[in-house]
Structure 1
Amino acid sequence: MDGPSTISLSPLATSYTKTEGDTLRDITCSTVCHPECAYTWSKVGTTGTIRNNALLNLGQLSRQEAGSYICIATNPRSSVTQNGPTVDVKVIFGPNTALINPSNMNYTINENQPIITIVCSATCYPTCTFSWKETTPTLSSASDNHNLALSEVTREEAGTYQYGPDTAALSVISKYTVTEGDTLLNVTCSSHCWPGCSYTWRNVTNNAIMSRNRSLMFGPIDRYMTDTYRCDVANIYTPYTKTARSEFQLLAQYAPDVSIVQSTLTLTEGSTLILTCSANGYPSQYTITGFKQTVGTITIPNDNTEAAGVRDNISVRIPYNILQDTGLYTCMVHNNVKDIDGNLLQTDSTQIDVKVKPRIFLAEDRFAGPTGGQVSISIPIYSNPVFTNYGVQRYDGFNLIEDSKYKFTENDASIQTQFYGRYVTLNGRVLQMTIQNLTEVDFGEYTFWISNEIGSTSASVTLSARSIPSLPTQLNVAVLEKVPVFVWNEGFNGGYVQTFLLQTSSTSHEHLWTNRTSILETDNVYISSTGFYRVNITGLEVGHFVARLIAYNELGNADPVSFQPFEIIKISAKENINPNHVPVIGGVVGGSLGVVVVVVVIVLVFILRRKYTLNCSFNMSLSKKEDVDSNQLRNNADNAGYNAAETYEVVSTMKETPNYDVLNVGNERPDNTHLYTPLDESNSKSHIYYENVKKEDPMYTNTVLKNPVQTVF
């Protein structure tokens, strides 16, 4: 148990002076207490409590609520109490009416006889001041206090005695600013009159009467209450015509209304469009933070927008509408005034949909299918308005129509493209053509044409029989900070997912190719924003190198294509390849062994598979004869003394399916000459390159050097 400690108040003030009818903001008391304290509020001089919580909420004040208030905190377990600071509330009021004693309104006395003293009284806070005035035959002062004592009355003192109003005082300043949504405290008009004052509030603009009492009540403020208001005060004794008046201007500030005006409703490709964003609020100085174009959640960097800042309006000026101008345009403005929901930034939006002829978004323009089978060709299309006609023509001029061989279907689809450099998704359609029972005449080029009311467009695709991949193109290599970076564009995959094998060789040993990495064409990690593949290799020694790339699928491999030679000038020790670098180069150690078999000694593996089963998760004990002259291999000399049983280090590898899938085609491996080249047993040169192995040998050996990459001899 703990507390209560010293009680604090929010707000911190302990004294308030308010005019009757005004609202006193809530006062909250708090303290540190465990468990949580119970709170009460009491009024000094009264019994009992007026609130059973921490909040003193008197609201609109009356004179009866003037006094001193204390908050008391009590620990519910220990019953220890703590008194908070005393809060004094003073309420300004009166005079509402004035009383006289005696209450007679008319006296008839003899001249030169004294009249009794007449006392005027009224209730006020602060204390009232009094004065008596004679109104007939002329206005003159009779007394400057609450007593009217005429002593001996002369005929000249006969008449009517009244006073006020002299002035009308308001409880607000002459220009009173409030914010829309706030609750305005009552505006009070005060004056002094005898026998009493009458009050009338008017709207100065239209002279409409707003109230016939001292207080003018508004309630929640809205922008339409901005106007000038006047209090007129008169003496209730109507023959006494003296009046007083006072007025104030109510200024309601409000967050701006934002609107976008569109210069034309014709949103066809090539037309001009101006979007103008304006604001209307008070105060009328606006900060425009932006006029942005979005597609879904993507913001488009459209250069047609004027610069943001403090200005009256902002425009988007599009001199020539194109598809990329399609989107939701949102203007954002503020004038440092929050709206009734507490939001500073005010917005307006308009959707712009540019009408364009159909757009075809082909991710691939080459397709492949098996003879006797079927193929589906998909054409993604964006069209606004929707396309109404389409057709397909074969390379030989034959126009396809739907029948038992050709089927056409349409489906909704999400289309991805770029708007001013940002990827966006559009709602489109996919036209799919399925060709069944493929024959030789079906392989070739097909031209699709699509049209809507704006225009038409066409695109061509090529249908081929499934095959090995075509050659990669646009090969390039650059050495960046001692690391070679290889870039290329894929060729047609032949209708199957293809794999790329990257190999390097020192220019001093150009026949010794080292597998560096192999990657699937579907691995987006290696695909740059331009669609090119990009791979970097670390761990190369200083020297001159050549590199080549081999593309293969389950039907076989394409011929190697070469990069230009490159040079590694220097490499620091910390950049040597270690196991943590494996993901960067695509799994060189684990993934290259199987592919080496495919590309370099593929003939050996296929001969092996005719007699034995290849185990793709294995340990291999390899050796190298230390005294073999490396020049012996380059000079086409047989190495009859080579001993394949001398031990290298043990190398382990796990199967990577894409690297071995090329081995799984056909049963008669030697007949698949497009996959590998059988050894020419009559040519001793081929034996030297493949370490003197023969077709009939029961075992073939891949040698592995003691470093993180694999070299095939």
Structure 2
Amino acid sequence: PPRDLQILNVKRDNSITGTEGKALTLECEVVSGRPKQLLQWMHNEKIIMQNRTGVLNYTFIPKYTDHLSQFTCKAISSALDVLLVQDVTIFIFYAPQVYFNKRETSVKIIEGHSLTIECNGNGNPDPANFTWTKKAELFWNLISKLPTLYINNVKRTESGQYACEASNVVGTGRKEIVVLVMYAPHVDIQYQNYTKKVKTRLLKCNATGLPSIYNFYDWEHKSNYGDHIRFLSGGKDGFLYLPDNVNDNNYQDNGYYKCTVDNKIPDTNGNIKQNGEVYLDVKGKPVFVIDNADTVYGEYHQSVSVAVNIFSNPEYTSLEIFDKNGGDIKSGPHLKVMEDYTSVIDNFHGTRVHVKGYRITIRIENLTNVYLTEYTCNVKNAFGQSQHKLSVLRADPPQMPLNVTLMLVANDVKVEWNPNFNGGFQQYFYIEYRDQDSTIWKQKLAFNTTTNAGNSFTVHNLKYSRVYIFRMYARNRIGESNKTNEMFVTINQEHSSVVFYSVVTGSTSVALLLIIVITACVVKRWMRHKVQINHSCTQTYNIEAEQYDEIDEDQIVQRHDSETSACDNIQETSVDTDYEQPVDPFSTDRSDNVQLNESSSNSESSENETDENDTFTKDIVVNSYEQLIDNPEQPLPYDALNQ
């Protein structure tokens, strides 16, 4: 039988060393017997080579995967009771095999975050050197010589293809990876300024970000002072077509337009939504804005300033001011015209905003009858002209308050009234009252409480069982109104409160009846607490329940006529904002007044201003008339006001 099977060139540990990529030969020999034996080389339990010979050599090119693998040589013969077998282990030196932690080929990261990629090299021997490079257009740039690539606060420009190389004595291994830096979109708006004659007005919002899937929000239109004007819906592609305007209001399209977009990626400050804005310049004829008054009041022989506010893009080139007779009043001995570039208020698409405009100020140093007239302002630019008319009137003392009533609440008296024409300046209301047995009037400056019924003020802590006389008047910087008729009120004795007892026993119907009776008594006692107001100066009336004085219809009409004449000339006026409430309520400040032509209501602001839902004089008189004569179909003199 065959004998002495052996593998040549092996070490004591039955291993053979090779290098990846270089040919390695395994030699196996045996002393032959009879019959001739069969020699085999096996690997992974598979026969890779065999022959009936005494020497069998197997040559191959080892790979790194062959490292530490086992090869077996066998001698097979019928003369053998036991097969002859010899094993050998292959040790392969190979270049590093490079891989990343998660075996990924690309990595995504948000701009501003920190990037970390670990490079690993599996080689024999272990890698001694690492390098990171980034691909440029034509070559690779060295980034780092460390196994781990770390970039703090990564930027979008650091997106690209990276490679890690690991090397040992055998060779170098290499692995590439793509870095995608995701970032919030940069917004750029394409637009074109236009004139009022252009029909199609388009703004295009361009977004550049990664990923390039965008969500566009409503556009915002703002004034050049940043005041919000309106929101506009654009398309999903970022296009905004401005809607058509009516009444030649294209000038109101002037302003900043802001586009807002996101791609779900926050910016370096953590903001998801990104925006960009541009100023759209729309040219057209001049416009007189809404904060111009039609009437300006001034003190006789005092200075007065009349301001006219204009929006003009481009700037107006011509200004003409005429009086009622057509005379040019650009200058005069007591008159000066000034022009300024300033902020004005106008209504842009239904919103009051501040915009850049021009103010023309007519300064009258000494207001006399010559200047109490109507003025016409004409302004012109390259796109057209506009005109505005206003009147300068002499200011007067305010007119007497209307519809003054008294209401008794315990020992307090609530005074209610409707403001009348303020005479051209801010007015204040004064309430005077005295004990019927006294000749000394006490005075209250009424910081009114505005209700739906008008203005009101409460005089507190009057004495019980006394009769008080009330009257009131209004005052502005010019003077005082007439005082109202005197009104009498009796402060009745203090009444004891009603005590309710709970009935535990008895039927439900008895308890209900008791509650109804008690309620009726309380209502009756309250009705007796009402106060009759007498507008004469000589007589006092106490109103008891179900007692009324008959009022002649002619008197109602006569009162109505007087109130109508007092209201005929009421109109909005310019309020001198420099005029403050005097410390001494009986003194007035007659310093020079610069009246800004902003529309103001007859009601006073804050504490001296009526609510926008206040009942007007006409409504009060008409309602009173209908209730007294029970015939709402009768015509009233107010009907003439509606014609």
Which of these residues, 540, 556, 561, is aligned with residue 623 of structure 1?
Answer: 540
**CA deviation map 1:267-299 (0-9, x unaligned):** 557564311112111122222233211234532
1:187–1:521 Cα change, 3 Å: farther
Shift, 1:323, TM fit: 2.5
What corresponds to 1:586 in structure 2? 455
What corresponds to 1:123 in structure 2? none
Distance in 2 of aligned mates of 1:372 and 1:252: 76
Name the SS of the counterpart of 1:284 in structure 2: coil
Question: Given that residues 503 and 517 in structure 1 are in contact (C-alpha distance below 8 angstroms), is that contact kept between their aligned partners in structure 2?
Answer: yes
Q: CA RMSD in A?
A: 5.1
Matched, 1:397 2:326: yes
Which of these residues, 335, 343, 353, is aligned with residue 424 of structure 1?
Answer: 353
What corresponds to 1:275 in structure 2? 203
Partner letter of residue 266 of structure 2?
K
Q: Which moves more between the two structures, 341-350 or 360-369? A: 360-369
Distance in 2 of aligned mates of 1:496 and 1:413: 33
What corresponds to 2:418 in structure 1? 518
Shift, 1:348, TM fit: 0.9
Name the SS of the counterpart of 1:250 in structure 2: strand
1:332–1:371 Cα change, 3 Å: closer
Which of these residues, 23, 28, 31, is aligned with residue 136 of structure 1?
Answer: 23
Name the SS of the counterpart of 1:135 in structure 2: coil
Question: Given that residues 285 and 312 in structure 1 are in contact (C-alpha distance below 8 angstroms), is that contact kept between their aligned partners in structure 2?
Answer: no
Name the SS of the counterpart of 2:272 in structure 1: coil
Distance in 2 of aligned mates of 1:437 and 1:246: 92
Question: Given that residues 400 and 482 in structure 2 are in contact (C-alpha distance below 8 angstroms), is that contact kept between their aligned partners in structure 1?
Answer: no
What corresponds to 2:99 in structure 1? 169
**1:375-386 mapped onto 2 (5 Å cutoff):** 375-386=304-315
Name the SS of the counterpart of 1:377 in structure 2: strand
Matched, 1:287 2:218: no
Question: Given that residues 258 and 277 in structure 1 are in contact (C-alpha distance below 8 angstroms), is that contact kept between their aligned partners in structure 2?
Answer: yes
Name the SS of the counterpart of 1:324 in structure 2: helix
Distance in 1 of aligned mates of 2:127 and 2:15: 15
Shift, 1:257, TM fit: 1.0
Question: Given that residues 184 and 218 in structure 1 are in contact (C-alpha distance below 8 angstroms), is that contact kept between their aligned partners in structure 2?
Answer: yes
Structure 1 length-normalised TM: 0.46
Shift, 1:266, TM fit: 3.3
Shift, 1:265, TM fit: 3.0
**1:282-321 mapped onto 2 (5 Å cutoff):** 282-295=210-223, 296-303=225-232, 305-306=233-234, 311-319=236-244
Distance in 2 of aligned mates of 1:387 and 1:448: 13
1:139–1:364 Cα change, 3 Å: same
**1:568-587 mapped onto 2 (5 Å cutoff):** 583-584=450-451, 585-587=454-456
What corresponds to 1:360 in structure 2? 288
Distance in 2 of aligned mates of 1:587 and 1:390: 47
Distance in 2 of aligned mates of 1:554 and 1:226: 68
Distance in 2 of aligned mates of 1:366 and 1:275: 42
What corresponds to 1:217 in structure 2? 149
How many residues align? The count is 399
**CA deviation map 1:54-91 (0-9, x unaligned):** xxxxxxxxxxxxxxxxxxxxxxxxxxxxxxxxxxxxxx
Distance in 2 of aligned mates of 1:389 and 1:421: 29
Question: Given that residues 196 and 235 in structure 1 are in contact (C-alpha distance below 8 angstroms), is that contact kept between their aligned partners in structure 2?
Answer: yes
Distance in 1 of aligned mates of 2:220 and 2:543: 71
Question: Given that residues 259 and 279 in structure 1 are in contact (C-alpha distance below 8 angstroms), is that contact kept between their aligned partners in structure 2?
Answer: yes
Distance in 1 of aligned mates of 2:175 and 2:471: 99
Matched, 1:448 2:377: yes
Shift, 1:630, TM fit: 7.7
Matched, 1:463 2:397: no
Question: Given that residues 269 and 355 in structure 1 are in contact (C-alpha distance below 8 angstroms), is that contact kept between their aligned partners in structure 2?
Answer: no
Partner letter of residue 122 of structure 2?
S
Shift, 1:424, TM fit: 0.9
Question: Given that residues 518 and 592 in structure 1 are in contact (C-alpha distance below 8 angstroms), is that contact kept between their aligned partners in structure 2?
Answer: no
Distance in 2 of aligned mates of 1:442 and 1:114: 127
Shift, 1:198, TM fit: 6.9
Which of these residues, 163, 182, 198, is aligned with residue 113 of structure 2?
Answer: 182
1:233–1:406 Cα change, 3 Å: closer
1:306–1:516 Cα change, 3 Å: same
Distance in 2 of aligned mates of 1:279 and 1:402: 56
1:194–1:516 Cα change, 3 Å: closer
Question: Given that residues 193 and 281 in structure 2 are in contact (C-alpha distance below 8 angstroms), is that contact kept between their aligned partners in structure 1?
Answer: no
Which consecutive residues of structure 2, in runs of 5 or more, have no partner in the other structure? 1-6, 25-58, 74-89, 407-413, 428-445, 460-468, 475-480, 487-536, 555-580, 587-643
What corresponds to 2:593 in structure 1? none
1:203–1:440 Cα change, 3 Å: closer
**CA deviation map 1:393-430 (0-9, x unaligned):** 12222222313132212345432222222221123332
What corresponds to 1:501 in structure 2? 402
Which of these residues, 160, 174, 187, is aligned with residue 258 of structure 1?
Answer: 187
1:358–1:593 Cα change, 3 Å: same
1:423–1:192 Cα change, 3 Å: same
Which of these residues, 299, 305, 322, is aligned with residue 250 of structure 2?
Answer: 322
Structure 2 length-normalised TM: 0.51
**1:515-554 mapped onto 2 (5 Å cutoff):** 516-519=416-419
Which consecutive residues of structure 1, in runs of 5 or more, have no partner in the other structure? 1-110, 121-129, 151-159, 467-493, 506-513, 523-550, 556-578, 603-619, 637-655, 662-713
Query: Relative contact order (alpha carbons < 8 A, sep ≥ 6): 1 or 2 greater?
Result: 2
Question: Given that residues 167 and 245 in structure 1 are in contact (C-alpha distance below 8 angstroms), is that contact kept between their aligned partners in structure 2?
Answer: yes
Question: Given that residues 15 and 91 in structure 2 are in contact (C-alpha distance below 8 angstroms), is that contact kept between their aligned partners in structure 1?
Answer: no
Question: Given that residues 253 and 280 in structure 2 are in contact (C-alpha distance below 8 angstroms), is that contact kept between their aligned partners in structure 1?
Answer: yes
Distance in 1 of aligned mates of 2:239 and 2:22: 66
Name the SS of the counterpart of 2:312 in structure 1: strand
Name the SS of the counterpart of 1:191 in structure 2: strand
Distance in 2 of aligned mates of 1:393 and 1:246: 87
Distance in 1 of aligned mates of 2:448 and 2:371: 47
1:299–1:269 Cα change, 3 Å: farther
What corresponds to 1:408 in structure 2? 337
**CA deviation map 1:212-254 (0-9, x unaligned):** 857363523222333333446676447xxxx765332222111
Shift, 1:449, TM fit: 1.1
Shift, 1:340, TM fit: 2.0
**CA deviation map 1:455-481 (0-9, x unaligned):** 3211112234x3xxxxxxxxxxxxxxx
Partner letter of residue 586 of structure 1?
N
Partner letter of residue 382 of structure 2?
E
